[in-house]
Amino acid sequence: MSTLKAVRGTRDLLPPETALWNRIEATARSVFSRYNFGEIRTPVFEDTALFSRGVGEETDIVSKEMYTWEDRARAQSEKTQTLTLRPENTAGVVRAYIEHGLGESGQLQKLYYIGPQFRRERPQKGRYRQFSQIGAEVIGPTSAGSESPLRDAEVLEMLATLLDELGIAGWTLHLNSVGSAADRARYNQTLREALVPLAPQMCADCQRRAETNPLRVLDCKVPADQPLIDTLPVIADSLDEASKAHFAAVKAALDAAGVPYTLNPRLVRGLDYYTRTTFEFTHGGLGAQNALLGGGRYDGLSEMIGGPKAPGIGFAMGEDRLVLTLLALDQNSAPPQADAYIAPLGESMNAAALALARELRHAGVHVELGDGSFRLKKSFESGNKTARKIVILGEDELESGILTVKDFSSGVQTKVPRAELAGFLQN
Q: What is the binding site for ligand ATP (CB under 6 A)?
A: 88, 119, 121, 126-128, 131, 133, 270, 289, 291-294, 316-318, 320-321
315, 302 contact by CB (below 8 A): no
Q: How far is the CB of 294 from ligand ATP (least distance, A)?
A: 3
User: In terms of CB distance, is 270 or 307 closer to ligand ATP?
Assistant: 270
Q: Name the 3-class secondary structure at 365.
A: coil
Q: How far is the CB of 224 from ligand ATP (least distance, A)?
A: 19
Q: Name the 3-class secondary structure at 266.
A: coil
User: In terms of CB distance, is 323 or 392 closer to ligand ATP?
Assistant: 323
* Cis peptide bond upstream of 16, omega within 30: yes
Alpha carbons within 13 A on the beta-carbon side of 109: 24
Please give the Cα distance from 341 to 350 (Å, whole number). Answer: 13
Please give the Cα distance from 76 to 287 (Å, whole number). Answer: 52
Alpha carbons within 13 A on the beta-carbon side of 237: 8
Nearest to 235 by CA among 268, 273, 274, 271: 268
Q: How far is the CB of 331 from ligand ATP (least distance, A)?
A: 18
353, 393 contact by CB (below 8 A): yes
Q: Which residue is nearest to ligand ATP (CB)?
A: 318
DSSP 105: G
User: In terms of CB distance, is 97 or 171 closer to ligand ATP?
Assistant: 171
Q: How far is the CB of 217 from ligand ATP (least distance, A)?
A: 15
> Can you list the alpha helix ranges (DSSP code H) found in 72-225?
90-99, 149-166, 181-195, 204-212
User: In terms of CB distance, is 9 or 167 closer to ligand ATP?
Assistant: 9
User: In terms of CB distance, is 88 or 152 closer to ligand ATP?
Assistant: 88
User: In terms of CB distance, is 129 or 389 closer to ligand ATP?
Assistant: 129
DSSP 216: G
DSSP 127: B
Q: How far is the CB of 233 from ligand ATP (least distance, A)?
A: 23
Please give the Cα distance from 23 to 28 (Å, whole number). Answer: 9
User: In terms of CB distance, is 294 or 344 closer to ligand ATP?
Assistant: 294
Cα diameter, the chain: 92
133, 25 contact by CB (below 8 A): no
The DSSP-derived string for 231-246 is TSPPGGGG--HHHHHH
Q: How far is the CB of 291 from ligand ATP (least distance, A)?
A: 4
220, 228 contact by CB (below 8 A): no
| Alpha-carbon Rg for the chain in angstroms | 28
Q: How far is the CB of 123 from ligand ATP (least distance, A)?
A: 8
Q: How far is the CB of 323 from ligand ATP (least distance, A)?
A: 10
User: In terms of CB distance, is 320 or 397 closer to ligand ATP?
Assistant: 320
User: In terms of CB distance, is 242 or 328 closer to ligand ATP?
Assistant: 328
